[in-house]
Structure 1
Amino acid sequence: MKNSYLLAILSGLLLALAWPTYGVPLLAFVGFVPLLLAEKNIRESNYKRRGAKVFLLAYISFLVWNSITTWWIWYSTPFGMFFALLVNSLLMTIIFSLYHFVARRLPSKIHLIFLPAMWMAFEKFHLNWDFSWPWLNLGNVFSEYTTWIQWYEYTGVFGGALWIWIINIGVFKTIVHYKKTKERSVLTKGIARNVLLIAIPIILSLFLLNNYEEGAQEAKITLLQPNIDPYSEKYDISNPQMATALVELAQQDVSKDTDYVIAPETALSNPTPIDQFGNRQEEHIIQQFVNKYPHLQFITGVDFFRRYNQKEKPTVTANLFQRGDWFDFYNAAVQIDKQGSDQKYIKSKLVVGVENFPFKNILEPLLGDVMLDLGGTVAMRATQKDRGVFTATDETLKAAPIICYESIYGEFVTGYVKKGANFLTIITNDAWWSNTQGHKQHLSYARLRAIETRKSIARSANTGISAFINEKGEITKTLAYEAKGTLSGTITINNKQTFYVKYGDYIARSGVLVAGLIFLFAIARKKT
């Protein structure tokens, strides 16, 4: 068992050391191999309670991986960090334990198909349930090596996950076969085969990269990075004061040719009635600025609320305050244009515990109408059903108003493109995690969205890193973390829809079907 513990720890280390933005993604191709070898050794041994031993080894492995890659959540919420590490490791362990269950009943040709299918089914599930945390979904590992994955426009990140599993299983089978035969030719052929399976997708990606042509139309954009401390300073500034500060910052760089000014998430952070924004002083300040330029639009993050005058609960997301009033709160984006219209979009992928009450229907009767305090606010946020698109006054530019956490959800982002968005904006506040890998990975994952949709990205972050990303996923300009200022650049506009935009996570959906069928077959079979 000692060797098995070492193998489990090694798997965790390999996966952690593969992760962006500091790691080497090649390690992901062998990251699961030590754990697979440990599981096989236990499965074929005479140990009692083999299932429990596999569970323990897997939990150790995944806890090492999760801890090294996402410890920085501590800066936002210590409790939330422990919750994320322990629960996400547990979920991964359950999936691996299901693999062990199937492997004891079915031959390797089947159970080694079940494992990647079940893992991708888990990742798909992790994108959509109340405790969603897809930060460590396997396809994200290549976000710093976009020259390898230009084919994500066809597969999305699940293509990367499938690639990783094919190589891990190939290496695992090579080692097992070599241990049986002791023939060097087996090892040589196995290594050569797996190297080829790594090389072919990279060569295909380089071909796509060299032959890809970006959109001919262009837009000139200025990003604002006010660098306001979200823990203290931000909420001491009134909305009119903040609007004035944003305008003063924008004036440094805006010209008559500028199409968009983009300010970060909740830049206007004092809650405003959602139906009265057009009459507010902060809106008028920005409107007067926009009117000075021929074809300027201004996008900014705003905190909105809606108050209900009734005793009964008006919506599922409404919060009851002590004096008996019901409120809905919204983390929103607004676009202000020369026509005086205020287009609004409400953030719809919420941070667990910070912005939403997970499993509210189940937990609310037990805990009352309060948020689970995972380090955020104590008021649940409302969402909107469909994605929204901000259309410019000339109707040729259509921006996807992606807010913060939403940018790590691939198929979710395609919803903006299906609505007509021809470039992506991301407004975010990455100060919660301090100057750690957290905000760097958040920026890095945005590069995947650019490739999947073949849309340029303009990213405004309160504390940084603000950036422009082209349709190939290449970062072309950045403004450093904790730097106050503006970043201006020109992006290309693309009205085409990629294969992935049209069909989404079809690989993961196939995985759900395959895993379900194999699992049912395994239940019907006796142990072998």
Structure 2
Amino acid sequence: MKFNSLLLALLSGILLWLGWPTSGFAGLLLVAFVPLLIVERRLRLYETRRAAGKVFLFSYLSFFIWNMATTYWLYFSTPFGMWFAVLVNTALMSLVFLGYHLLARKATQGAALTFLACLWISFERLHLDWEFSWPWLNLGNGFSETTSWIQWYEYTGTFGGSLWIWLVNIFVFLSVLRFRPELPQDKLPLKKMESKIISKRQFIIKRVAVLLALVIVPILISQIISYSNFEINKGGGTQVVIVQPNIDPYSEKYYITNDSIVSHITNLALPLTDQFTDLIITPETVLADNIKLTNLDRLEYNRAVNQLRLSLLDYPNVNYLGGVSITEIVRDSAQMNPQTNLYRDGRTLYNDYNSAMFLKARDSLKIYHKSKLVVGVENFPYKSVLQPILGDAMLDLGGTVSTKTIQEDRTVFEMNNSAKVAPVICYESVYGEYVSDYVKNGATFLAIITNDAWWGNTQGHKQHLSLARLRAIENRRWIARSANTGISAIIDHQGNIKQSLGYEEEGAIQGSIRPRSGMTFYTTHGDYIARIASLMGLFILLFSVFRRGKMKRK
């Protein structure tokens, strides 16, 4: 039995891997947990010693395969960060499965499976909110390459996809459990054998019919929603030029002056810019040579910024959006915040920003600071607790030993043509409810600026682009995406990639996007499925514990 359990655990891990974007087939996710659920049931019913430990180990094997095979590319940016993310995330997933096993000992199978789905979704919600945030493998993200299946994300967000995966997996698992003869068939009388075969055939037909409904109906609903959101291309819209400078972050990016970068990006953008162009977009931290200021208002007078502004004078209707690295030297307490850093001299305080800069030829500059940060590289999780223990070990992973300063609200920039653009910076695009806050603040389209070159030509940058498609569906907003080395793209409100520029290609995209108003159900209500799941999970847990305590008193 141990060997069979090992094979089943391996099978679950492989199915999760082969079902993940961008090289997998998402349909496999709908059955990927079934082998592991069978392993857990066997251990619960037939193992009397150390069953919980074995459940944890077998689930750890499954989830390690999934995490490692799909996010190995983190190694190219930070080996320590990759191993930390893989090992810790695998352990957290295994603890969720262990929690299901422990409750299943005390509750009915149906209650325990409901608890598992609720607990997993609650775990995914935790990954969106806590300081070790890593929602990359939240199950609903698995459909990012099959957007025709999940147009209903405008109502549910990605947690609708997570719920769908668990519903189908649980149904298939329960069907497997029920498809077992009570007695060996060779000991049954002929008439009983015939009756049992007919009964079994009817059972299979009914189960297959329900399974097909569980899989096909959501896809059909998605097709209906897609048809209702179809837009005929009438021309017009907002004209954008998306720049992809293709600068290596390891050997070039931080060794080139901002003046040189401005010359480079304008040489790429201006040949495609004309009197109809509304917006030029450049990547995250494209001005990477840290601009040191005593006050953020002084950014307006920086030489590279003025060089950019001068390049737009011949195009008075053009707006510019791009990334910039800023260091603000703290002179008084009003400038301090929870992320303020201390220089190695032990005296000088400063705020470190990864920001988006928005400017027009003849108007004041506006700025937004990235606020969903990459763990370990841009922020120090639970800094007050961990820094005395680890020093700068957590931050010294990506060429920096400082914590980025964030802002509370989502800034939206208004363009000359009255369209409103959301400056979504890199990792922020992974967070559904977070991006929806831009739309609540009036954004009529999204601009994602990013630098995905840290991971090389791996699945990393492909998955990041793919996840952006989910944000388009959730909010029914077009997306203009500028990536340093690619993949830059224009994505429509149904998650379809309309134009793109391949990885490690230097150049620019000239295209049209269609600003849209109105808010979807998901934009308005956010991750309500996760909140409901958390409450249900807590209720099932308390009910099971109370019920067991009551039985003991009897």
Please give the TM-score of this superposition, normalised by the length of structure 1.
Answer: 0.97
How far, CA to CA, are the matches of 1:213 and 1:75 in structure 2?
A: 40
* C-alpha distance 97-346 of structure 1, shift in aligned 2 (>3 A): same
* C-alpha distance 311-337 of structure 1, shift in aligned 2 (>3 A): closer
Partner in structure 2 of residue 124 of structure 1: 125
For 2:226, the aligned partner's letter is L
CA contact (8 A) 1:430 1:439 kept: yes
Partner in structure 2 of residue 249 of structure 1: 268
Counterpart of 1:426 in 2: which secondary structure?
Answer: strand
CA RMSD, aligned part only?
A: 1.7
Partner in structure 2 of residue 163 of structure 1: 164
Partner in structure 2 of residue 457 of structure 1: 479
**1:340 Cα offset (Å):** 2.4
For 2:239, the aligned partner's letter is K
Out of 295, 308, 316, which is 1:286 matched to?
308
Q: Give a deviation string over 1:209-244, Cα, whole Å, max 9, x none.
A: 112144977100000000001012111111111112
Partner in structure 2 of residue 80 of structure 1: 81
- 5+ residue gaps, structure 1, are none
1:188 maps to 2:205: yes
Out of 398, 402, 417, which is 1:379 matched to?
402
CA contact (8 A) 1:16 1:69 kept: yes
CA contact (8 A) 2:395 2:402 kept: no
1:524 maps to 2:541: no
Counterpart of 1:299 in 2: which secondary structure?
Answer: strand
1:201 maps to 2:201: no
1:103 maps to 2:98: no
How far, CA to CA, are the matches of 2:546 and 2:68 in structure 1?
A: 37
**1:523 Cα offset (Å):** 2.7
Deviates more, 1:238-247 or 1:31-40: 238-247
Partner in structure 2 of residue 398 of structure 1: 420
Deviates more, 1:376-385 or 1:346-355: 376-385
How far, CA to CA, are the matches of 1:180 and 1:358 in structure 2?
A: 53
CA contact (8 A) 2:392 2:401 kept: no
Counterpart of 1:127 in 2: which secondary structure?
Answer: helix
Partner in structure 1 of residue 364 of structure 2: 341
CA contact (8 A) 1:310 1:326 kept: no
**1:368 Cα offset (Å):** 4.3
CA contact (8 A) 1:19 1:141 kept: yes
Counterpart of 1:55 in 2: which secondary structure?
Answer: helix
CA contact (8 A) 1:410 1:452 kept: yes
Partner in structure 1 of residue 193 of structure 2: none
Partner in structure 1 of residue 439 of structure 2: 417
Partner in structure 1 of residue 288 of structure 2: 269
**1:316 Cα offset (Å):** 1.7
Partner in structure 1 of residue 463 of structure 2: 441
Deviates more, 1:303-312 or 1:355-364: 303-312
CA contact (8 A) 1:78 1:375 kept: no
Partner in structure 1 of residue 189 of structure 2: none
How far, CA to CA, are the matches of 2:489 and 2:25 in structure 1?
A: 23
1:91 maps to 2:92: yes
For 2:369, the aligned partner's letter is I
CA contact (8 A) 2:378 2:395 kept: no
For 1:254, the aligned partner's letter is T
For 1:188, the aligned partner's letter is I
**1:2 Cα offset (Å):** 1.3
**1:312 Cα offset (Å):** 12
How far, CA to CA, are the matches of 2:533 and 2:256 in structure 1?
A: 49
How far, CA to CA, are the matches of 1:390 and 1:222 in structure 2?
A: 17
Larger Rg: 2
**1:196 Cα offset (Å):** 1.2
Out of 337, 346, 366, which is 1:315 matched to?
337
**1:305 Cα offset (Å):** 1.4
Partner in structure 1 of residue 72 of structure 2: 71
**1:371 Cα offset (Å):** 4.7
For 1:451, the aligned partner's letter is I
Partner in structure 2 of residue 223 of structure 1: 242
How far, CA to CA, are the matches of 2:25 and 2:380 in structure 1?
A: 36
User: Identity of paired residues, percent?
Assistant: 48
How far, CA to CA, are the matches of 1:346 and 1:312 in structure 2?
A: 17
CA contact (8 A) 1:174 1:191 kept: no
Partner in structure 1 of residue 185 of structure 2: none
* C-alpha distance 369-33 of structure 1, shift in aligned 2 (>3 A): closer
CA contact (8 A) 2:21 2:145 kept: yes
Partner in structure 2 of residue 485 of structure 1: 507
Counterpart of 1:220 in 2: which secondary structure?
Answer: strand
Partner in structure 2 of residue 179 of structure 1: 180
Aligned length: 527
CA contact (8 A) 2:278 2:416 kept: no
CA contact (8 A) 1:455 1:470 kept: yes
**1:509 Cα offset (Å):** 0.5
How far, CA to CA, are the matches of 2:455 and 2:484 in structure 1?
A: 12
